[in-house]
Amino acid sequence: MLNDRKIILVTGINGFIASRIGYDLLRKGYVLRGTVRSPHSASALLEGAYKQFADRVQVVVITDMTVPGAFDEAVKGVIAIIHTASPINYQLKSWDDFVTPAIKGALGVLEASLKHSGPQLESIVMMSSDAAIRDPSRKNHTFTEDDWNSWAEPKARELGDEAPPYILYPASKTLAERAFWHFSEENKPHFSLTSVNPAICIGPPIQLPPLPSALNETLKPIWEIFSGETQTIRQAMGSGGYIDVRDVAAVSVWCAEHPQEAAGQRYILANGRGTFQAAADILRKAYPDRESIPVGNPGCDYEVDYSWPAWTKFDSSKAAKATGKAFIRYDQSILDTADALKTYLST
- For 305-323, the pLDDT digits (tens) are 999 999 999 999 999 999 9
pLDDT on residue 238: 85
Q: With b meaning 16 or more CB within 10 Å and e meaning fewer, what string describes 14-32? A: bbbbbbbbbbbbbebebbb
pLDDT on residue 87: 60
Q: What is the pLDDT of residues 233-247, one digit of tens each?
A: 999 988 899 999 999
pLDDT on residue 163: 87
CA distance 12 to 21: 11
CA distance 126 to 120: 18
**Banded pLDDT at 39 (limits 50, 70, 90):** confident
Q: What is the pLDDT of residues 245-298, one digit of tens each?
A: 999 999 999 999 999 999 999 999 999 999 999 999 999 999 999 999 999 999
* pLDDT exceeds 70 at position 301: yes
183 contacts 109 by C-beta, under 8 angstroms: no
172 contacts 87 by C-beta, under 8 angstroms: yes
pLDDT on residue 97: 80
* pLDDT exceeds 80 at position 338: yes
Q: What is the pTM of this model?
A: 0.95
* pLDDT exceeds 70 at position 90: no
- Between 97 and 54, where is the model more confident? 54
| Mean pLDDT of the region 175-182 | 97
* pLDDT exceeds 70 at position 145: yes
**Banded pLDDT at 124 (limits 50, 70, 90):** very high
